[in-house]
Structure formats: structure tokens, C-alpha cells
Amino acid sequence: MSLVSHLVRKWHRWLAVAIASFALFGLGGCSLEDFRVDAAEGTQLILGQLGDPKTFNAALSKEYPNVFTYTYNGLVDTNGVTTEIEPALAESWEISDDTLRIVFTLRENLRWSDGEPLTADDVVFTYNDVYFNEQVPTSTRHVLRVGESGAFPIVRKLDDRRVEFILPEPFSPLLRALSSEILPEHILRPAIEETDDDGNPVFNSTWGTDTDPTQIVVNGPYRLNRYVPSQRVVFERNPYYWRKDDRGIPQPYIDRIVWQIVENQDTQLLQFRSGGLSAVSVAPQYFSLLKREEERGNFTIYEDGPALGTTFISFNLNKGIKPDGTPLIDPVKSKWFNTLEFRRAVAHAIDRQTMINTIYRGLGELQHSPISIQSPYYYSPEEGLPAYDYDIKKAKELLLGVGFQYDDRDRLLDAEGNRVEFTLITNAGNQVREALGAQIKQDLSQIGIKVNFTPIDFNNLVSKLSNDLDWECHLLGFTGSIEPHGGLTIWSVDGTLHSFNQKSEVMELEGREVSEWEKEIERLYIQGSQVFGDEERKAIYVQAQTIVQEQLPFIYLVNPLSMGAIRNDLQNIKYSASGGAFWNIYEISIEE
């Protein structure tokens, strides 16, 4: 779990939809009495989250935060402060001179949470049978494709502790990509081999949230103990976890984590101020209040510059038609959304500096790019990246120039006289996003557009984005990363997070059109993975960022500062924008 800026330790999930960003550490409406008996049995952390987990199957997860931050390791991990690659399940690796072969050596005596050995067989199974399996809807697959052919590495067992990856061509992001969760073959192979009535692996419905949490087999510092829907997830120390400190003491030190489902940020803040919570994400509107209470409340506010993620609005550009013959999007509105000048007008009409000054209390920065500002591949407006300043006059000129018109009440009409209005959705309960949506509604009214802003239930939002695909405009975000290649699942035209023009995983769509600029961004992201050296890679990602800003599939808004308030009894906190508060959960302890 992390605070608002927490980068998932499994780097490929930087791109997973951050529907529940501003991950909240709170108790919601439950009573502290629920935890006092458990607390007497050992140390515990009480954290929080806006919505329930969507799956207990790590390969199928598409959202962040998720439970897998605590329950799984990959072959390698990323240091939250330095962003360097570090050993995890693999104690070492050797890369050939031509960079086309890498051999990992697993640690000795690794075990799953059920006590069974973790070996090279599990690694080979995870990649060959799960992540590379076209019948498994996993976002991990897209970031493991190599080159224009999209070929996967050849993964082979050398012996029980050694696995080799053989590449068809150089692939610079490989090491970071191999932080993906390793899964237990002895439990999950039958689910891969058995198929349902539609011919899909039973794996795709295995380990849903209706599964007994104690039956989920993991390899991370914690294992699932209990799940009460709409209330809490309880994690307990994994007794078979491999890490030990320099004194030989097993890690993690904290016995239990309670991941509480909360209703909203106000409830979370109240619980933190009353002393019941271990940490809280410091939303800008709470900063002044919490800063005054630091000493009395025995906590420290940590800050480390802009968060790595993005916040944006996006129009649904999908022209697809459902099997029953109905279009995903009203053709009248689809024509607006697919008009570039319309998207640019909207970008000019949003007053992002006012968002920073009011909603973020000055604790944020303008955002322009899909690549995090901390990345060496980030391209700034000062260097030439297209940007959209607040300019109502320019917005109206763009609209009038492509046939839109105004009636005698200054309402925007299209060339056929249709009133221009659309529905903007976001996840209910995220107060910052709700405030952003309210301002966008007001801002766009200044150019005659009627916005029906409708925050909706988290589960309904996920369904619309992943299954129904019938949304018009959404306000969401993606988590960020130093390495841009994780974004391939967004920019690949068939990627599972290519949300603005999504390929359906659940129905056959006719008429979905993929533009040349979409294909070019995908090509550039692939090319960026084929070269080494920051200068060469940046030149490629500069082109991709430029196209994104020219075409505006996402209209980027603002980036808040990464801040978190942490109780002073938590020891060894190493807070950073790239790692958040708990990236090193295994070595954090609670001072008794």
C-alpha cells in the first residue's frame, strides 16, 4: 500500500488505472473495537483504501492500489529512493555481451506461503503459461513483447535455481519488466490447463475476491488472512518469506496490516487526527491543518516533489458498434470527440493554474506529458513540447473554425444544430477528482459546453472502462514510473489500457478505427525499447510525447506534490515520490 504518489514496486503496474489513487489510510465507519483484540497479539498497521479489491489474482489486476504490493515479489525489485534495480527472488543475474541472454539465479530455499518450494519451474510457468498466454487478459504481456514483431523472450529452466531469458533482439527495459509477480505453478497449473464453456482458461476466473483469502498462495512479505467486503482486508506476516536483516532476524517486522475500505477522504482524515491510523495521504486541502498538528499528533509530513502519476480527462474516440448493432457512443457525440480542434479547444478552456491555486492550495505543478517529470526521458514545454495555456478566445476560435456555432444564449451547437453536451465520470469518493470535475464543468460552460459531471461507484466505473466501453469522457489517472516502456499497454493499439480507443475483451466490435497517429506512438514506444543510452532513448520518446500532446487522447491537468503524514512510531521510513511511504514495508517496524 502507498500514499498518493506511491509507485507500485512491480513497475509494470505504473500504468494500471489509478482509479483509487489518493489511496486512503482510514477506518471508514467501522469501530476500532474490531481491531483491539488482534492488536494485542502483535504489531499492526492500519491503512486504507477507497474501494474493495477487484481480484486476488495478480496476473489479472488492472488497478492500483492493489493487494499484490504486499503479497508478491518478482525476480527483481526497484529501490523506492534510488530507483535502481535490486535483487528480489533472484539473488543475481548475468547478462551476455550482446544483451540477448540473461540468466537469473534464484535464492536458496525459497518457499511459497504454504511451505512448498519455489523453484525455476514457477518462473517458467509464470511467464510461458500465464503472462505469454494470449488467452489470459493480463496487462503484463504487453510490456514483455520485444520489437516490432511483438515476440516474447524464450524462458527456459537450466536447473532448479537458474532460469534463462533469450531475446530475439536487444530490449533495454527487460530488467524492470521482470519485476512482475511470480505465481505458484503447483496451485495454478490446473486452472491454466482446464477451460470453461467458452474455451478460455479457468485461470481467468480463479482467485476472485470470493475465494477464501487463506487459500491464496503467495511469496511476498505478507499473505492474505481475511477479507470482509466493503470493510477490510487483513494481511498477516508470511512465515516463509525469504528476507532476513543483517542480524539474521526474519522480515517483515510488523505482524499485521489492516487495509480498511473507507468511504471518503474526510473520514480518513478524522481517523488519522484522532490517532487511530498509522499514515495518511496529505491531500493539498489538508496540508495546512495537518502541518499545525504535526508535533501534537506525533507525526511527520514527508514531501518529495511532484508525484509520478498523471491526472487527465479523456474522450472516448472508439467508433465501434456492439454486436446488437448499437454504437458504443452516440454518433453525433463521437463526431465531436474525434474532431481534433474540439479536443484542443477543451484543453485551452480548462484553467489548470486555478486548479493548482484553489483545489491543490498551490501544492502542485502543471502537467503536460504522459512521462513522469523525474524520468530522464521527460520532454518539457520549455524544450518544445506542445502545451495548452488557458485561453477562452483561442478555444472559441478553434470551435468556430470547424463548424460549431453559438445560439442566442451562448450555448455551443454543432453544424447540425445539436446542443454540445457530454457526461464526465470519475470515481465517487475521491474528493480531489470531484473538485476537479466540478471546475471542468464550470470552465467548459464558458465556451458553451454543458458537462454532466457524474461521479460513480468504483465497481461501475471499472465495468464501464473494461467491459461496457460506453462512457463519453472520464477523469482518471495512471501511476507513473522512471521507465516509460510500461506505458506500452496504454499506447499499444490493442493494449489493455488503450482506454481512449479500447479493443474489447468481452465482445466483438465492428467499425473500430485505429488512426495513424495511434500506430506511430506505438511504433515509437517499441523503438525506444530497442536502443540503449539515455540520449538515444530520449530522442525517440520526445517524438512520442509530442504526438500525444498534438493529438490529445488525454488532456493532462495538474500534478500534486507527493506528501504523506506518517506516525513517528514507524521506524525506517524512506519516503520518496517514486516509492511512497511503504515501498520498503519489509524493513519498517513499529516502536513499542
Q: What pLDDT score does 228 carry?
A: 96
Q: Is 366 exposed, middle or buried (0-12, 13-18, 19+ CB in 10 A)?
A: middle
Rounded-to-integer distance, Cα 41 and Cα 221, Å: 18
3-state secondary structure of 403: coil
Going by C-alpha positions, the residue among 436, 439, 418, 415 that lies closest to residue 426 is 436
Rounded-to-integer distance, Cα 142 and Cα 174, Å: 12
> Residue type at 313?
I
3-state secondary structure of 122: helix
CB 427 within 8 A of CB 456: yes
CB 588 within 8 A of CB 384: no
pTM above 0.85, yes or no: no
Q: Side by side, which strands form the sheet with 310-315?
A: 450-456, 421-427, 473-478, 310-315, 555-556
Helix (H) or strand (E) holding 565: strand 558-567
Rounded-to-integer distance, Cα 252 and Cα 554, Å: 40
Radius of gyration of the chain (CA): 24
Rounded-to-integer distance, Cα 520 and Cα 476, Å: 24
> Residue type at 484?
P
CB-side neighbour CA atoms (13 Å) of 215: 10
Rounded-to-integer distance, Cα 469 and Cα 319, Å: 11
Supply the angle between the helices 431-445 and 340-349 in degrees, to the nearest 10. 110
Going by C-alpha positions, the residue among 442, 444, 345, 356 that lies closest to residue 388 is 345
Rounded alpha-carbon distances, angstroms, from residue 499 to 76, 364, 487: 29, 26, 12
Q: What is the DSSP letter of 10?
A: S
Rounded-to-integer distance, Cα 456 and Cα 454, Å: 6
Q: What pLDDT score does 532 carry?
A: 87
Q: What pLDDT score does 15 carry?
A: 38
Rounded-to-integer distance, Cα 384 and Cα 372, Å: 16
3-state secondary structure of 512: coil
3-state secondary structure of 383: helix
Cell of 122: 514457477
3-state secondary structure of 228: strand
Q: Per-10-residue mean pLDDT for the chain, 592 residues long?
A: 33 38 36 44 85 93 87 95 93 94 97 98 98 93 84 97 95 90 98 94 96 98 96 96 96 95 81 88 90 95 91 97 94 98 98 96 94 92 97 98 97 98 93 94 98 92 88 92 88 91 89 96 94 92 98 96 95 92 96 82
Rounded alpha-carbon distances, angstroms, from residue 69 to 73, 209, 243, 401, 456: 8, 16, 16, 49, 26
Total residues belonging to the chain: 592
CB 241 within 8 A of CB 31: no
**373-382 burial by CB neighbour count: b if 16+ within 10 A, else e?**
bbbebbbeee
Q: What is the DSSP letter of 404?
A: -
The domains of the chain are located at: 11-72+191-306+561-590, 76-189, 310-390+454-560
Q: What pLDDT score does 460 carry?
A: 87
Going by C-alpha positions, the residue among 545, 587, 573 that lies closest to residue 278 is 573
CATH superfamily for domain 310-390+454-560? Dipeptide-binding Protein; Domain 3 (3.10.105.10)
> Residue with C-alpha cell 476466473?
205
> Residue with C-alpha cell 530497442?
530
Rounded-to-integer distance, Cα 119 and Cα 238, Å: 18
Rounded-to-integer distance, Cα 265 and Cα 286, Å: 10
Rounded-to-integer distance, Cα 478 and Cα 480, Å: 6
How many CB atoms lie under 10 A from the CB of residue 547? 17
Classify domain 11-72+191-306+561-590 by CATH number: 3.40.190.10
Q: What pLDDT score does 570 carry?
A: 97
Rounded-to-integer distance, Cα 173 and Cα 143, Å: 9
> Residue with C-alpha cell 498538528?
293
CB 329 within 8 A of CB 337: yes
Q: What angle do CA 66, 70, 75 make, to 5 degrees?
A: 105
CB 121 within 8 A of CB 189: no
Going by C-alpha positions, the residue among 226, 308, 261, 322 that lies closest to residue 46 is 261
Spell out the alpha helix ranges (H) of 418-457.
431-445
Mention every residue, 6+ apart, whose C-beta is less than 8 A from residue 533: none
CB 514 within 8 A of CB 501: yes
Mention every residue, 6+ apart, whose C-beta is less than 8 A from residue 294: 300, 301, 565
Rounded-to-integer distance, Cα 278 and Cα 280, Å: 7
Which listed CATH number (3.20.20.140, 2.60.40.420, 3.90.76.10, 3.30.390.30) goes with 76-189?
A: 3.90.76.10
How many CB atoms lie under 10 A from the CB of residue 68? 23
Q: What angle do CA 305, 308, 313 make, to 5 degrees?
A: 115
Q: What pLDDT score does 496 carry?
A: 83
Spell out the alpha helix ranges (H) of 252-321.
265-273, 284-297
